[in-house]
Amino acid sequence: MKTYAVIVAGGQGTRMGTAIPKQFLPLGGRPVLYYTIKAFVDAVPGITVVLVLPEEQISYNNMVLQHFEEIPELIIVAGGASRYESVRNGLDIVEEEDAIVFVHDGVRPFVSAALIRNCMDQAREKGSAIPCVTVTDSMRFCGEDGHKAIDRDKLRIIQTPQTFLAGPLLKAFAQEYRESFTDEASVMEQSGGEVFLIAGDKYNIKITTPEDLCIGEAILNMTAAK
């Protein structure tokens, strides 16, 4: 069965306060995006990696590839004005309706091989796999009339790679864009498709702030010490 990893890396680095986009910032001496790409290449031999970048950042890709001993085969696609458009542009590469498609944030460099394979196995069986982790903090809902506590046991934090059989995913992304499309699961649900959750990984963090980079360095050092 053919597999694709559509890696969306469209950040501008505004929250980082840097001129270099966050996906290209150094982490352990290598760009963040290097670890993200390598995770899928190592976990699923033969996978087709579709890297979606803003057009003005495509040249940055060279700084990522130079860190690989064996340069992986990448298909580079220009992104769109929104995440929805960027993912749809990446999905244009997918031709086989029975393929497995991962859609992953470029700035989640610590996605494990186990999570990738678990998502792939569940997507084969059920059609989708949306990784999530439980909420450990107390939560409140804030509205116009004030705020109130809500049951955190019923809440989940959603991660990527959101993983699907290609046929239903391609159909879902043929519909018109809506502001309610916050991720691929919401696009799938709007098209009438069902999505299934799967246990995520607490280390599968999204790097968007300078503090996240510090946490990332700690995770990198911890895994290297194992």
**Helix or strand holding residue 223 (H, E):** helix 210-225
Residue 174 falls inside a structural domain: yes
The more confident residue out of 13 and 3 is 3
Burial class of residue 59, CB neighbours in 10 A (0-12, 13-18, 19+): exposed
H helices present in 25-180, as ranges: 32-43, 61-65, 83-91, 113-126, 166-172
Residue 119: which CATH number?
Answer: 3.90.550.10
Is 226 a residue whose pLDDT tops 80? no
In a domain? residue 114: yes
Q: For the residues 197-209, what does the mean pLDDT come to?
A: 96
Residue 124 lies in a domain: yes
pLDDT digits (tens, 9 = 90+) for 80-122: 999 999 999 999 999 999 999 999 999 999 999 999 999 999 9
Angle between helices 32-43 and 113-126 (to 10 degrees): 60
Domain count, the chain: 1
43 is a domain residue = yes
**Chain length of the chain:** 226
| Domain annotation covers residue 15 | yes
Q: Residue 41: how many CB atoms within 10 A of its CB?
A: 18
Say if 69 falls within a structural domain: yes
Amino acid 11: pLDDT: 60
* pLDDT tens per residue, range 115-156: 999 999 999 999 999 999 999 999 999 998 999 999 999 999
pLDDT of residue 15 exceeding 70, the answer is no
Would 147 be classed as within a structural domain?
no
The whole-number average pLDDT for the span 198-203 is 98
* Structural domain includes residue 149: no
Residue-number span of the structural domain to which 85 is assigned: 3-130+158-225
